[in-house]
Amino acid sequence: MTGMRRLATILCVTLSAAAVQAQEGGRKAIAFVQAPEMSAGQCLDKDTASAIDCAVKQCIDGGGTAEDCQVNATCYPANWSVDVFMMADGGPHWHQYSCGWQTRELALKAAELACSTAQKDGLVECSAVQLIDENGKITEPPFN
C-alpha cells in the first residue's frame, strides 16, 4: 500500500507542476476573427477564450462591428498557423485561416491544399499571405 501512496503522490505532484507550467507562460492559443470587407483581428493569448476576446477587440477597433466580427479559427496549442487570401471572380475576397500545425512545412502544405481547387472553385487568386509561429511571429512571402 505504501508503494501505491507514493505513486499517487508522485502523480499528483507531476500533474500539478504541469498545470502550473501551462498557466505560467506555457503553450498559447491563437484566434482569428474577421468582419467581411471591414476588419480582422488575430491574437495569441494564454487560453482560447482570451485569444478570442483579444482578436474580437482588434476587429472592432479596426472598424468591424461586434455583430460582424466572427471567429474564423482558433487553436490550442497555437503551433504554426497560415493565413490564405482568396479572391473570387468578380472581386469578393476573404481570408481562410488554418492553425495548430506541428511544423512550418505542414502549415504551408495546408495552404497549398486549400488552393488546390482554386480555379475549379472560381477563385482568381489564392495564396498564403502570412505564416505565424507559436510565439506569434509573423512571416510574409516569400516563405523560402
Question: 45-56 pLDDT, tens per residue?
Answer: 999 999 999 999
pTM of this structure: 0.79
**How many structural domains is the chain composed of?**
1
User: What pLDDT sits at residue 15?
Assistant: 37
4 found inside a domain: no
Domain with 116, as residue range(s), is 27-139
89 found inside a domain: yes
CB 99 within 8 A of CB 74: yes
19 found inside a domain: no
The strand ranges marked E within the chain are 29-35, 39-45, 70-75, 80-88, 93-101, 123-132, 138-139
Question: 8-45 pLDDT, tens per residue?
Answer: 433 343 333 344 444 556 899 999 999 988 999 999 99
33 found inside a domain: yes
